[in-house]
Structure 1
């Protein structure tokens, strides 16, 4: 794959949006750091234009990163301009004015962002950076959505280090996402170490945490993975789900769930019984951990945000 192809590569094509195909709901994160727009996904690269690999020990700041535009960007003579200059050319907010938000589940997918922004006049230009966050895991909400898939949430787990994505949103983008997540979620500030793929460390980021707890059993919480991702040693095989089909298949093993929601994953998606029904059934199964300390944090929707460029936003 050449540089131009990599620059335009969309790891989640539009037809794989969970809005269209719930059983293809994306996993915890895409495979590269990228600048997402309505029409393209451009790879974010290191200062010299080389692809980002493991986090750099030197801690490359996002301001110094480059974007692999290749020949796909009209009027651009430099195939690897700085991320800051691309944002300026797009006439959108610079990095320092943006807000760091953990993108979990489908929110990490370009197709889902495009769906959520839809016909909105808000420009969709979002730096999306692979990251590792300490002390939390990505799990599953305690309900099946009206579209027939189980959305993601985060919960605390001491010693955990979870691969995820940090998106840098401007104020208008943040307001748009807030609207799509409310009232099922709160947006809370997680003050915890976050390591970006660039090697830069953040002191925290916002995260959307679902009401009503998360899926779990006696041995622990169910954890969202991605196909091919190595399962953490602390997570039992039976609590690790890399895709929606395997998760729904596990839920369908319970007779009460199968009767109320569907006997197999395809029937669950086709029937779409709704969140209220699924909540009652899952609680009756004993598959819901009701308390989530992250949900008890203050809801920051509508309040002045912590920005990437502020001391509180950088580690």
Structure 2
């Protein structure tokens, strides 16, 4: 990584994730999902998030984060567990044509994750993580991409359909995003449900689905504890969403590759 991409300061304590309020890890606290996101672009470097002064990204892959991958605490934990220490540029972007929906599966982490969905005309501020080859492999694995039965597929979203604009006004040629292969949840009337945050989401789902309460309990805390303790129960909950008729398409299926779950346009 070019050292000019960050602006380290002598007072490094100011830029620790803890000092910035970004050290939380949804993996450890599922009800905090999707975690706390930065207010601006930065360079994630171990336990620090430095101001990003210049983006240098040859050889790196742009991956759009719609859930906890935009949380420096969560992303940093993934890298640390894999023994990786290279910095990760996290760039705030303006995305047109996407909304953040609810994945149609129950995660073993104890939460129901976010997933992108097509939403023409919608404009959102999200983050793009620029990952080197090793970092990309780690994040792919965390999303279940290499596995045939994994929940997510990494799809290339071209700028013609999903413009992603940097803070300086440039538009990227495209980005990758993790699209749930099972679809997303809708609100009971066919409209995709937005992801409001984990506690609110679980409260709403448990209140409206008696069968879900039988499986996971009456409170978000009970849901988390039971989901983290039982992989088969998570799969049962995932099937329940489909059986209740609450699953719809994300509208991004055309971009989801077959095979191992990744797709790379020529030159990327």
TM-score range, shorter chain: 0.7 to 0.9
1:221 aligned residue: 192
1:146 Cα offset (Å): 1.4
Q: Give the match's secondary structure for 2:105.
A: coil
Between the aligned partners of 1:176 and 1:278, the Cα distance in structure 2 is: 26
Q: Give the match's secondary structure for 1:260.
A: helix
1:276 Cα offset (Å): 0.8
Task: Please tell me whether the aligned partners of residues 22 and 37 of structure 2 are also in contact (alpha carbons under 8 angstroms).
Answer: no
Between the aligned partners of 2:89 and 2:266, the Cα distance in structure 1 is: 17
Q: Give the match's secondary structure for 2:130.
A: strand
Relative to structure 1, the CA distance from residue 175 to residue 287 in structure 2 (aligned partners, 3 Å threshold; closer, same or farther) is same
1:295 aligned residue: 253
Q: Give the match's secondary structure for 1:36.
A: strand
1:260 Cα offset (Å): 1.1
| Structure 1 residue corresponding to 2:34, chosen from 26, 36, 59 | 26
1:205 is the counterpart of 2:175 = yes
Task: Please tell me whether the aligned partners of residues 29 and 105 of structure 1 are also in contact (alpha carbons under 8 angstroms).
Answer: no
Q: Any stretches of 5+ residues in structure 1 without a counterpart?
A: 45-65, 67-82, 85-93, 225-240, 308-315
Relative to structure 1, the CA distance from residue 266 to residue 306 in structure 2 (aligned partners, 3 Å threshold; closer, same or farther) is farther
Q: TM-score, normalised by structure 1?
A: 0.69
Q: Any stretches of 5+ residues in structure 2 without a counterpart?
A: 1-8
| Structure 2 residue corresponding to 1:110, chosen from 72, 81, 92 | 72
1:125 is the counterpart of 2:87 = yes
Task: Please tell me whether the aligned partners of residues 28 and 104 of structure 1 are also in contact (alpha carbons under 8 angstroms).
Answer: no
1:190 aligned residue: 157
Relative to structure 1, the CA distance from residue 106 to residue 305 in structure 2 (aligned partners, 3 Å threshold; closer, same or farther) is farther
Q: TM-score, normalised by structure 2?
A: 0.81
- How do 1:126-205 residues align onto structure 2 when only pairs under 5 Å count? 126-181=88-143, 182=145, 183-191=150-158, 192-205=162-175
Q: Give the match's secondary structure for 1:150.
A: coil
RMSD across aligned positions (CA): 2.3
Between the aligned partners of 1:223 and 1:215, the Cα distance in structure 2 is: 9
Q: Give the match's secondary structure for 2:94.
A: strand
2:5 aligned residue: none
1:201 Cα offset (Å): 1.7
Higher Cα Rg: structure 1 or 2?
1
Task: Please tell me whether the aligned partners of residues 155 and 256 of structure 2 are also in contact (alpha carbons under 8 angstroms).
Answer: yes
1:39 Cα offset (Å): 2.0
1:250 is the counterpart of 2:221 = no
- How many residues align? The count is 240
